[in-house]
Amino acid sequence: MTFFFLSHPERHSITEVFTMKSESINLLTASTSEETFTILDLRALSQRAEASEEVNDNARRISLAASSLLNFAEQTGIGNSTEPAETAVTDLLTDLMHLCAHCWPDEGEIFFYSALNTARMHFATESDEPAQWD
């Protein structure tokens, strides 16, 4: 499964490519396609959040993120679709940018990119930890 968060460098955005190549993760998804990770695939990953409640590792982080994104997708009307999960990720990031611009009118964009950079640092640190699936 591959997630691409691509944006235009002239907008000072971050380009991230996050690839998960775990057979155990592939077993948890609804689709076997390596090309399109769908909203239905998110549903399978989100169910893992309750199962690994006691552990704060990457498996739990992945499950919690999938659960949150699935909730967002359901609220926007694509929760039960085969829409690519990338659509929900993009829509959520866009809405978070709108929220930052609303809450911090003078520096919303700067705040968003600062938070994104901090998240990127956390991701880099946490990427060294293996995901422990049951």
Amino acid occupying residue 91: D
Q: Is the pLDDT of residue 114 over 90?
A: yes
**Cα(49)–Cα(101) distance, integer angstroms:** 31
Determine the pLDDT at residue 71: 92
Determine the pLDDT at residue 46: 79
Q: Region 7-32: what's the mean pLDDT? A: 34
39 within 8 A of 79, measured Cβ to Cβ: yes
16: CB partners within 8 A, 6+ apart: 3, 4, 5, 120, 123
The confidence band for 23, taking pLDDT boundaries of 50, 70 and 90, is very low
Where does residue 77 fall: left (phi above 0), alpha (psi -120 to 50 degrees), or beta otherwise? left
Q: Is the pLDDT of residue 31 over 60?
A: no
Percentage above 70 pLDDT, the chain: 66
Return mean pLDDT, the chain.
73
29 within 8 A of 35, measured Cβ to Cβ: no
More confident residue, 61 or 28: 61
Q: Which tokens belong to 78?
A: 């694509």
- Which residue in 124, 97, 79, 126 sits closest to 7, CA to CA? 97
